[in-house]
Structure 1
Amino acid sequence: MQLSFDAADRLVELVQARHGAVSAEEAARALFALERAPAELARSLLADVVADDARLEWLGGRVGLAGSPHLDTPLEDAELVVFDLETTGLSATSCRICEIGAVRIRALELVETFETLVNPGTLLPSFVSALTGIREQDLRRAPRPETAVRRFLAFAGDAPLVAHNARFDVAFLDRAVERLTGRRCAAPVIDTVWLARRLLDRRSERFSLAQLAHFFGVSARPCHRALPDAVATAEVLVFLLGLAQERGARTVRDVVELAAPRARRLDGKRHLVAGAPTTPGVYLFRDVNDTVLYVGKARDLRARLRSYFSGARQRPAVEAALGALARIEWRLLGCLIRELRPPANSRSTRPERYVYLARRRDRWRIVTEPGRYGPVRSRRRAELAARALDGFEGEDLAAAIPPVRTKLGRLARDLRFEDAARLRNRLTALEELAARVDELDRLRRLEVCLLAPARERGFRRLFVVSGGRIAAARTIPDELPNRLDREAALAT
């Protein structure tokens, strides 16, 4: 109990020192001396501390001082401000806001908007300009950050804030407000990503803004501009609030709680890792019927298996396997993926699913026969690259990239943002393919001898790789350490 009191006092002091709410991750790092703490794990660690102290309360995924005036407002009367930011990069520490867009929702209706460009005081990276269509000359005429942020704060007032992937936007907003006032935003925050995950459950596998806009059929389309993205988020939010009401939510507080990051329900399965060795090997996830769900490999079995229960979510197939997990089996050596073909390993172990690009007369087409331009794991990425190559007649894919970049810049200058976004996706796929082909060409030119652990104790597997293929393979004793002995073994 004394520990809880001490932790609560320290947490109150932290919030007061920051002059506003702090993220669960920051609070957990400060209280428990953690190097990193995923949002779900951080909330679990802080749950008792916040619940047992009347001075503290959850404001979405953040901890603040109790007493927010809007949390108990009924949803049908609530006023919320949905906002979105465009920035010069991904780091809230080193990058700046370059556009703010916001929408006011009152009584479940979109009633007012706010929009401004922001002069970040730094050069706008070319990739941001290509992505958003914002030009450097536009920002030079825009208000400075302190003016733009003051206008936004005046628009938002003390209403609860809403954002899609709020952790990103709130980090930038907190930093900007802190530079301006020495304080942070104290308003509760609703994250539509977490709210959608909670309410849609398995009805949608992805929760990007574009995916949710399509799922609900909203009129606004996200396009990497602040106001259109804020409008799309607001329209998605109205649908989500309806679903929340069906779940029994009546007040803003109820929705804030629904949208809070949730710890994965895997705590009861941590004991399955007990006894795992720290040596290299493979591991098998099995369900209650002893069916193999997933096969993985690790240099340190214990560390790898523990990482599945650290709080960070895995990709959907592995997350589903963890949900059905009943037993973990491990073996010190071996390779079982191709033998068992478990469902959660299907992404990277079925060569028949790989595709290649090939030029057929004047068109680039997707083929399954192995060739120089591949393999590509995703047919969708291959299709995008093929579209970017339309009209290209050369052999070196790298030579096709500059003309596409030139066209992308022209579309952005002409304010054709949707066309530019589509071409950007194709260009990215082409760049990935060109880099992959270049890497494979270099690997095919290598002639190397590789040693790997064998299944049998006291032996190793010796592979000779030439022209991108295994030219020879032998199992040899560990007692053949030098080159001449290995060459003699291969000759037998």
Structure 2
Amino acid sequence: MPSASRGGTVPSHGVQGTLDDLGTPLSEVTFVVVDLETTGGSPADSAITEIGAVKVRGGEPLGEFGTLVDPGGPIPPFITALTGITQAMVTAAPRIEAVLPAFLEFARGAVLVAHNAGFDVSFLKAACAAHGYAWPGFTVIDTVDLARRVLTRDEVPNCKLDTLARFFRTGSAPRHRALADARATVDVLHGLIERLGSFGVHSLEELRGFAKAPTPEQRRKRHLADDVPSAPGVYMFEDARGEVLYVGKSSDLRSRVRSYFTGSETRLRIREMVGLAERVRTIVCATALEAEVRELRLIAEHKPRYNRRSKFPERSLWLKLTVEPFPRLSIVRECRDDGAAYLGPMASRRQAEEARAALHEAVPLRQCTQRLTPRLIAAGRARTCVLAEIGRCGAPCAGRQSADAYAGHAAAVRSIMAGDVRPVVAAAQARIDRLAAELRYEEAAAQRDRLAAFVRAAARSQRLAALARCSQLVGARPAFDGGWELAVVRYGRLAAAGTVPPNAHPRPYLDALVATAETVLPGPGPAGAAGAEEMECVLRWLDSPGARLADVQGEWSCPVHGAERLRGWIEAAYVTPDPEDRGAGRPLR
């Protein structure tokens, strides 16, 4: 071995590298943990109201950054209720263009960390772009992705910040204020980094690659996607016993199923599902609409434990005008062929109760739940309620209103539910205007919410009922390859789907599809023979650009004075509230 003379140098190729040469140790990395509060969920139509950030290195805090921000517009009431940030609090706060330089200087050279980082980073990038600041290109770490990789469902049911803060017993509790949430995220980050040691993650470079890498279980199950075709359709993950674990759809089954075995799939419950899956079964569909409908039907049939939406369509609620001598409005789970009028469906009992309250404001139907009959009233055995005593009800229970007089109220409600919503809107608007004039803004906003619940339910009900009335509807839509997509819909249910090749005459294909379509019988109520979600899929397909009707058997139309024309007005009352109205809403013209 050659020796070096005094004052010489040892050849570099003879020196073994250290572990530090493999990357930057996490103990030497400066992290800036940031959290934002905003006026909404998208930087396209929302703004930042607060920035909080904590700088740490080696587990020790180096500094904090926190400030309220004037968003330049109104803060929605539900945001104020969530965060506690009011309009008065941000009136004297700096605008985002004045805050950005200070924050970027505070975070310069650090690794940016956030919980659900995509949300916070999108707002910061949008603010930089809007005010001429170059985005520094931070290395970004998302604690949600790390938690999904490190923690199991036995340890935490989900990866929300509140849940992780309780699990790691953070020193600061998250409370939807930026700096408090950033402090809690710091403790969550440190807890996750401690866990990462057992995964062999000790450097920043290893940390960056860890969240994007598939788990060993995902790698082991990649062969499940080998025989999946590249076609539109539905896929079902099944366990060893044949139980359906998860149902999904895609325009390219092979590409979608393969994504479950890559690092891009970070959802904790889905990674757990992949670990249990032993096979993937596919159903190739003619069109994307057929795939969407089949997915809904399969989810409702199998109720897979790893699907979250559309599992329980039977839990939808309907508003029913009962069939009895003195009808009342009842909230029910299903439509029946009993001659009653129905409105819905609605996703929650609160929505149903709000819609019912709006109807009661317009028409004085009885609100008691007893079954009233003329014989019971004549015998004096009917119970009276407080509404009868204060004049809010015609009080048929006390004999002060005849069955014929009450029938007029029931007919008015039936007309409203069938299509003419003007009485409900007029009654609600008059009440809103009176409350706003008396400066009772919270009560006016409550009335607006009732009206909104009714309009949304009525608009949906009338759309579904119009489609359900058609014994057959045949539609066509341009396909991407130059051909046509076809659909046969009977009483709201997709009975058949097919395609027409490019440059082919569509008539033979249409005739063949109609001849082989499923036989469908009409169903009760507005939902027809299909579920509400399936009918909504069909309606979206029919509303898409280029869609055409080849045949309609029945009357497909919405009422002239129906709720559909009011939906835009209702949504505008929530999206762009007028500060002068203070939640009361604008009059309808």
Partner residue of 2:456? 435
Q: Letter of the 2:281 partner, please give it.
A: I
Task: Pick one of 14, 27, 33 that aligns with 1:82.
Answer: 33
CA–CA separation in structure 1 for the residues paired with 2:529 and 2:45: 50
Task: Pick one of 303, 307, 312 that aligns with 2:256.
Answer: 307
Question: Compared with structure 1, are the counterparts of its residues 257 and 368 closer, same or farther at alpha carbon in structure 2 (3 Å cutoff)?
Answer: same
Which structure has the larger Rg over C-alpha atoms?
2
CA–CA separation in structure 2 for the residues paired with 1:101 and 1:161: 12
Q: Partner of 2:176: helix, strand, or coil?
A: coil
Partner residue of 2:283? 330
CA–CA separation in structure 1 for the residues paired with 2:243 and 2:138: 48
Partner residue of 1:123? 73
Partner residue of 1:270? 225
Instruction: State the Cα deviation string for residues 338-375 of structure 1 (Å, max 9, x = none).
Output: 666655568535455556799xxxxx999867796865
CA–CA separation in structure 1 for the residues paired with 2:210 and 2:266: 21
Alignment of 1:215-234 (within 5 A): 215-234=167-186
Partner residue of 1:453? 495
Alignment of 1:176-187 (within 5 A): 176-177=127-128, 182-187=133-138
CA–CA separation in structure 2 for the residues paired with 1:342 and 1:325: 15
CA–CA separation in structure 2 for the residues paired with 1:409 and 1:239: 46
Task: Pick one of 252, 258, 265 that aligns with 2:210.
Answer: 258
Q: Letter of the 2:73 partner, please give it.
A: L
Give me the CA root mean square deviation: 5.3
1:200 aligns with 2:151: yes
Q: Retained in 2: the 8 A contact 1:286–1:325?
A: yes
Post-superposition offset of 1:104: 2.7
Structure 1 stretches of 5 or more lacking a match?
Answer: 1-68, 359-363, 412-422, 473-480, 486-492
Task: Pick one of 348, 354, 357 that aligns with 2:310.
Answer: 348
Question: Compared with structure 1, are the counterparts of its residues 402 and 296 closer, same or farther at alpha carbon in structure 2 (3 Å cutoff)?
Answer: farther
Alignment of 1:161-176 (within 5 A): 161-176=112-127
Instruction: State the Cα deviation string for residues 9-43 of structure 1 (Å, max 9, x = none).
Output: xxxxxxxxxxxxxxxxxxxxxxxxxxxxxxxxxxx
Post-superposition offset of 1:92: 4.3
Post-superposition offset of 1:209: 2.0
Task: Pick one of 103, 110, 135 that aligns with 1:159.
Answer: 110
Post-superposition offset of 1:200: 0.8
1:468 aligns with 2:430: no
Post-superposition offset of 1:290: 4.7
Alignment of 1:400-419 (within 5 A): none
Q: Retained in 2: the 8 A contact 1:192–1:259?
A: no
Question: Compared with structure 1, are the counterparts of its residues 139 and 350 closer, same or farther at alpha carbon in structure 2 (3 Å cutoff)?
Answer: closer
Post-superposition offset of 1:166: 1.4
Question: Compared with structure 1, are the counterparts of its residues 224 and 188 closer, same or farther at alpha carbon in structure 2 (3 Å cutoff)?
Answer: same
Q: Retained in 2: the 8 A contact 1:220–1:228?
A: yes
Partner residue of 1:101? 52
Q: Partner of 1:193: helix, strand, or coil?
A: helix
CA–CA separation in structure 1 for the residues paired with 2:306 and 2:58: 44
Q: Retained in 2: the 8 A contact 1:165–1:193?
A: yes
Question: Compared with structure 1, are the counterparts of its residues 315 and 256 closer, same or farther at alpha carbon in structure 2 (3 Å cutoff)?
Answer: closer
Q: Partner of 1:172: helix, strand, or coil?
A: helix
Q: Retained in 2: the 8 A contact 1:283–1:296?
A: yes
CA–CA separation in structure 1 for the residues paired with 2:120 and 2:48: 9
CA–CA separation in structure 1 for the residues paired with 2:553 and 2:129: 67
Q: Letter of the 1:113 partner, please give it.
A: E
Post-superposition offset of 1:250: 3.3
Post-superposition offset of 1:261: 7.0
Partner residue of 2:93? 142
Quick check: which one's strand share is greater? Answer: 1
Give the number of aligned pairs.
378
Partner residue of 2:165? 213
Post-superposition offset of 1:388: 8.4
Q: Partner of 1:171: helix, strand, or coil?
A: helix
Q: Retained in 2: the 8 A contact 1:78–1:108?
A: no
Question: Compared with structure 1, are the counterparts of its residues 433 and 207 closer, same or farther at alpha carbon in structure 2 (3 Å cutoff)?
Answer: farther
Higher relative contact order (CA 8 A, sep 6+): 1
Q: Calculate the TM-score normalised by the size of structure 2.
A: 0.49
Instruction: State the Cα deviation string for residues 147-173 of structure 1 (Å, max 9, x = none).
Output: 312222343342322111112222333
Partner residue of 2:24? 72
Q: Calculate the TM-score normalised by the size of structure 1.
A: 0.57
CA–CA separation in structure 1 for the residues paired with 2:26 and 2:130: 34
Question: Compared with structure 1, are the counterparts of its residues 318 and 436 closer, same or farther at alpha carbon in structure 2 (3 Å cutoff)?
Answer: farther
1:240 aligns with 2:297: no
CA–CA separation in structure 2 for the residues paired with 1:177 and 1:241: 30
Q: Retained in 1: the 8 A contact 2:238–2:281?
A: yes
Structure 2 stretches of 5 or more lacking a match?
Answer: 1-20, 321-328, 337-341, 363-423, 473-489, 498-511, 531-549, 555-589
CA–CA separation in structure 1 for the residues paired with 2:46 and 2:308: 39
Instruction: State the Cα deviation string for residues 435-465 of structure 1 (Å, max 9, x = none).
Output: 3465236635763223343699842224445
CA–CA separation in structure 2 for the residues paired with 1:145 and 1:165: 21
CA–CA separation in structure 2 for the residues paired with 1:272 and 1:285: 14
Question: Compared with structure 1, are the counterparts of its residues 483 and 235 closer, same or farther at alpha carbon in structure 2 (3 Å cutoff)?
Answer: closer
Post-superposition offset of 1:470: 4.7
Question: Compared with structure 1, are the counterparts of its residues 226 and 464 closer, same or farther at alpha carbon in structure 2 (3 Å cutoff)?
Answer: same
Alignment of 1:390-401 (within 5 A): 394=360
Question: After the TM superposition, which of the residue ranges 127-136 and 427-436 deviates more from structure 2?
Answer: 427-436
